[in-house]
Structures are given as C-alpha cells and as structure tokens.
C-alpha cells in the first residue's frame, strides 16, 4: 500500500513532464491551492455540462503546469463528454493512451475514471494498455462493481484468469461482492473454489466477504458453516454474520450472535448495531429494537447515526406505531434525509394514514417516482380519486415514470432477466403460457388479484392484467418451465415485492409443493406450503 501511494505521488510529476513536453509547453511550479481550485471548478463544470468554463479551465491547467494530472484529466474528459465536445474527448483520450504514459499512470487513470462513474472511458484506457498488472485488473474489476456492472466484472475476472496475472485478495473481495449483488450462487461457489484451488490466504476481509456473499445468494447455511470455521477475532466477521441472518429474517439467530459477541468480549460497533436493528425490523421485534437502540448510548457510548434512526423509523412504521415513528424523526439530533421520510410514507400507505403521509411528503423536497406512487396509493385506499388523479397528473407534467420492476433468475450458470410486461426473452411465449396456467390454477385455490393500489384510470380487467405480468411472476414461470418438480427456485428482484405477488407466490408454493425464494431489495422471502418466512412483515 505504501509503495502504491508513493507511486501515485510521483506519477503526477511524470505525467505533467511527459505531456507538457509533448505539447511544447514550459513547466511551472505546483501550488496546491491552485490545483484544488481548478479541480473544484472542473467538478462544477462536469455536473452542469459547462463547456465554455471547462475550456477556459483547461487552458489554465496547462498554463499552471499541471498538464494532465489524473484527477484533472478524468474530470475534464467527463465534462467534455457530458457537454457533447467529443473532439476534445477524443484528443485527450488519444493523448492519455499514448506510449508516453507508463503502467502506474494508466492504472491511476482507470481508477479515477471509475470513481467518477465514467465506466466506458476506463474501458477504453484498459484496452489501449500494451500490458497490465494485478493493479490494472483490480481497478477495472473493482470499478465495475462500484458502478453496478456486476456481469461485466465477471467477464473481466474470467479474462484475468486466462491471463498470466494471478488474482489476489483484493480481486476476490471485489468479485465476491459482485456475486452477492447478483445473488448468483453458482458464481459464488465457483469463486470460492478458485480461491481454494489457488490457496488464497483467508483474512478477515475475505472471510467476511464469503459469509455475506453466501447469505446474499440465499445459502445462509453455508454462511453459518463458514462463520463457525473461521477465527472470530475481527468484528467484521461478526457483522457479516449478523447482516446475513438479518436479511433472511432470522432475527432471533442474529440476536444470539450478538450475545455470543458480548460473551467473547468483542465490542460491537455502529455496523453491528445497524445489522442487529435491521434483524429486529425484519422480525417485527419492536421491544427488542428499542432495547438495542438504547444500548448504543447507554452501554457502548455509540452515538446513533442517520441509518440507525432510519431503521427504527421503519421498525415502528411497519409495526403500525406511526406516531412513535414520527416522534423518532422529530427527536433526531441530525437532519432526517428523504429516505427517512419515505420510510414513514411507506408505513402510512400500509396503515392508511393520510394525515402523516402528507406531512412526510411535505418534507421530501425532491420527489421521486416511488414517492408519487406511494402518495397516490394512499389516496386510492381512502377512495380519494380526485387527489390520486392530481398526483398522477403531476407525474405526467414532470415526466416522472414509475420505476420498472426487474427480476432475474440463475439457471445452469446463466442469468435470465425479466422486466414487468416483458416480451423480449427468446422463450417468452412459453413463459406466458406457463404463467397463464399458474394464474388459472391459483384462482381455483382462492387467489384474487390485489388491484387496490393499481392506478385507477384503467378498468378492473386491465388492472388484473397489469399485476399478472410483474417481473417476479415472469421469472417464476420461467423457472417452473426449466426446472424439475420439487426443485428449489431462487429469484432476485430490484424492488420490494408487492402485496399481490407476495400473496400469489405463497399460493403457488402450496399448489406446486415447491420452495420458492425471492430476494427483493430489502430481504429474503422463503415461500413454502403457502407460508412465507417473513411472516407477512416486510
């Protein structure tokens, strides 16, 4: 790490000297204040796509002798790209990828492009490099993960494996995170097998990553086995296990792990309490949640942060204690963020509290699509159609579209994705045929679509059709099409599962005698025999 920092310190001078020489420019002495000012101006230009100021700033960068320092050129390229100045982009990238820049410089450029979300430019630099070291691969793989390009991260990881560069602990930590986000168990198992084959030394970071990855991929039992077999000296291992149990709704197991920590004299930190409170939230354990929240200050002198307050607001809201949730927000010593108010708004939808819902909305300055939908649903539940219509008109006027539900399922090492109402999958006709058959069968078992919260400007039949083609239903139909009777099915989803799909999948699990696991944005739901592991608390 020290060597890398030293390289980064020296690389700026090498790049400046190379580029200024190639441009025939004299060298100037550096002034950190000038550098910081130029960087801040560029960042402002980048976010506003101000090409005129960017060009003027570019001239000053060269004048002051900074040439093209990594942080400045990445921000500059991004600014020009957003402003549509593609000629400047191509010129700078051409200069950047010239033979004058060494491996260390190129690695830093990749890392910086990834930091500001310019994934495509990072790839361009990567593919222009004549050779790459482990830092290069780690930068591109880690950058893909940070930018939520998880499948691309696996593609680069596969390329790395067939190269002459051996992955290290940083590589595996990144690719395990990608596995966790995808919920792809076979990928996680493959990565774990490669780590074993290459005899990678497992430190606390990798042990924690393995525990959490298996948890996120639905294999909580394997996560428990790993936890039991590794040293518990580092708190990150405990935190990974508590978080893993929490997302599976195994609240009492998570609280037991917390007790084990105390018994082993391992002092919990803020992350520990966040996982523990989340477990209480997912288990609907209001009293236990209050206790652990109080313990943060009284027993461990840990000041609750915004996230801890947010979980408590969610816990109270989902348990129906809306006034207590609101009191918690008002008592916060820090300014509540929009997520906290949205949490209260979500609780108001469940318990149909219009008054508090409007208070929450009034405190959300930048309304997103989900906020409009929640408020519209609340008005619909009170049969206040005129208010619901006003909300929908606001959405249309502002060009706000409802977030699209996406679900995916891993079969035979491949990931199959579906969007609500999707018809792009190559086997979609067979999927719709299976889905239609399932809906017909569940109707005979008492299933009635929950149309209450579907937008009210369409007929009842259209509402039912809208619900029938939710992404998780399409993914489930495809899984049934492709798997054997009795085989467990695992689905991942980008949003919280809706009430209609939750009720329907419970019935499907009973009718087909199948275990169906759905990992939504918040937690795991294991459906079996007509019941869900969440106890209908999500």
pLDDT on residue 208: 97
How is the chain split into domains, by residue range? 33-131, 407-532
For 39, the token pair is: 């960087």
Q: How confident is the model at residue 149 (pLDDT cuts 50, 70, 90)?
A: very high
pLDDT of 481 higher than 90: yes
Residue range 278-292: mean pLDDT, rounded: 95
Residue range 199-206: mean pLDDT, rounded: 94
Q: Which residue has the higher pLDDT, 420 or 475?
A: 475
* Chain position carrying tokens 């690389």: 11
Q: How far apart are CA 43 and CA 329, in angstroms?
A: 34
Residue 407: strand, helix, or coil:
strand
**For the ranges 49-53, 61-65, 237-241, the one whose mean pLDDT is highest:** 237-241
DSSP state of 497: P
For 145, the token pair is: 């993960």
Q: How confident is the model at residue 67 (pLDDT cuts 50, 70, 90)?
A: low
Q: How far apart are CA 125 and CA 135, in angstroms?
A: 14
Residues 6+ apart with CB under 8 A from 84: 49, 51
Q: How confident is the model at residue 11 (pLDDT cuts 50, 70, 90)?
A: very low
Q: Which residue has the higher pLDDT, 207 or 127?
A: 207
Kindly tell me the sign of the dihedral angle through the C-alpha atoms of 264, 266, 270, 275. Answer: negative
pLDDT of 179 higher than 50: yes
* 320-331-323 Cα angle (round to 5): 20
The arrangement of strands across the sheet holding 414-419 comes to 414-419, 406-411, 489-493, 516-519, 524-528, 531-532
Average pLDDT of the chain, as a whole number: 84
Nearest to 392 by CA among 405, 404, 380, 406: 380
Residue range 472-494: mean pLDDT, rounded: 94
Q: Which residue has the higher pLDDT, 33 or 362?
A: 362
Q: What percent of the chain has pLDDT over 90?
A: 52
pLDDT of 24 higher than 80: no
Burial of 411-446, coded b for 16+ CB within 10 Å and e otherwise, reads eeeebbbbbbebeebeebeebbebbeebbeebeeee
Residue range 415-422: mean pLDDT, rounded: 88
Q: What percent of the chain has pLDDT over 70?
A: 86
* Phi, then psi, of 164 in degrees rounded to 5: -90, 10
pLDDT on residue 270: 97
Angle between helices 119-128 and 70-82 (to 10 degrees): 120
Nearest to 260 by CA among 232, 218, 288: 232
pLDDT on residue 461: 46
Q: Which residues pair with 532 in a beta bridge?
A: 527
Which CA distances in Å does 180 have to 59, 117, 154, 211? 45, 21, 12, 10
Q: How far apart are CA 210 and CA 446, in angstroms?
A: 42
pLDDT of 31 higher than 80: no
Q: How far apart are CA 402 and CA 341, in angstroms?
A: 19
**Is the model's pTM score more than 0.85?**
no
Nearest to 369 by CA among 394, 351, 349, 386: 394
Residue range 241-259: mean pLDDT, rounded: 96
pLDDT on residue 49: 72
* Chain position carrying tokens 């820049």: 101
Residue 418: strand, helix, or coil:
strand
pLDDT on residue 37: 82
Q: How confident is the model at residue 163 (pLDDT cuts 50, 70, 90)?
A: very high
Secondary-structure percent of the chain, ordered helix, strand, coil, rounded to 5:
65, 5, 30
pLDDT on residue 402: 66
pLDDT in tens, 442-466: 999 888 877 665 554 444 444 445 6
pLDDT on residue 530: 94
pLDDT on residue 436: 93
Q: Which residue has the higher pLDDT, 61 or 515?
A: 515
Residue 532: strand, helix, or coil:
strand
What is the H or E stretch that residue 527 is in? strand 524-528
């Amino acid at each position: 790490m020290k060597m890398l920092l030293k390289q980064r310190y020296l690389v700026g001078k090498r790049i400046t000297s190379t580029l200024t020489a190639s441009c025939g420019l004299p060298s100037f002495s550096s002034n950190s204040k000038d550098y910081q000012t130029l960087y801040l101006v560029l960042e402002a230009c980048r976010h506003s796509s101000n090409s005129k100021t960017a060009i003027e700033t570019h001239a000053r960068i060269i004048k002051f002798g900074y040439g093209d320092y990594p942080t400045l050129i990445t921000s500059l390229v991004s600014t020009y790209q957003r402003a549509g100045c593609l000629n400047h982009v191509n010129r700078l990238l051409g200069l950047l990828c010239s033979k004058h820049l060494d491996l260390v410089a190129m690695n830093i450029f990749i890392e910086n492009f990834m930091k500001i979300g310019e994934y495509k430019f990072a790839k361009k630099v990567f593919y222009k490099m004549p050779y790459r070291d482990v830092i290069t691969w780690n930068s591109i793989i880690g950058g893909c993960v940070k930018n939520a390009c998880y499948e691309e991260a696996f593609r680069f990881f596969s390329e790395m494996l067939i190269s002459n560069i051996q992955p290290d602990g940083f590589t595996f930590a990144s690719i395990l995170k990608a596995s966790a986000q995808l919920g792809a168990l076979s990928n996680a198992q493959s990565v774990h097998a490669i780590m074993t084959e290459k005899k990678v030394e497992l430190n606390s970071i990798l042990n924690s990553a393995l525990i959490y990855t298996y948890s996120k991929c639905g294999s909580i039992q394997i996560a428990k086995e790993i936890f039991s077999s590794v040293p518990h000296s580092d708190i990150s291992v405990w935190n990974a296990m508590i978080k893993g149990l929490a997302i599976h709704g195994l609240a009492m197991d998570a609280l037991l792990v917390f007790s084990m920590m105390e018994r082993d004299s391992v002092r919990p930190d803020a992350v520990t309490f966040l996982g523990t409170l989340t477990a209480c939230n997912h288990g609907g354990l209001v009293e236990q949640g209050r206790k652990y929240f109080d313990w943060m200050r009284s027993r461990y002198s840990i000041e609750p942060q915004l996230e801890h307050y947010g979980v408590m607001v969610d816990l109270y809201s989902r348990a129906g204690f809306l006034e207590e949730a609101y009191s918690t927000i008002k008592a916060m010593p820090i300014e509540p963020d929009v997520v906290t108010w949205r949490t209260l708004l979500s609780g108001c939808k469940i318990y149909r509290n219009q008054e508090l819902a409007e208070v929450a909305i009034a405190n959300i300055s930048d309304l997103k699509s989900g906020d409009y939908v929640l408020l519209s649903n609340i008005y619909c539940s009170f049969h206040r159609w005129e208010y619901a219509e006003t909300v929908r008109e606001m959405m249309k006027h502002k060009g706000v579209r409802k977030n699209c539900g996406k679900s995916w399922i891993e079969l035979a090492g491949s990931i199959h994705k579906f969007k609500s109402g999707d018809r792009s999958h190559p086997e979609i006709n067979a999927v719709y045929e299976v889905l239609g058959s399932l809906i017909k069968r569940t109707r005979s078992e008492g299933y009635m679509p929950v149309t209450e919260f579907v937008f009210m400007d369409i007929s009842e039949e259209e509402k039912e059709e809208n619900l029938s083609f939710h992404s998780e239903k399409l993914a489930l139909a495809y899984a049934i099409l492709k798997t054997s009777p009795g085989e467990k099915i695992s689905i991942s989803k980008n949003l919280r599962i809706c009430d209609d799909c939750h009720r329907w999948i419970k019935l499907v699990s009973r009718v087909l005698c199948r275990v169906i696991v759905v990992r939504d944005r918040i937690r795991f739901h294991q459906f079996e025999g007509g019941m869900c592991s969440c106890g209908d608390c999500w």
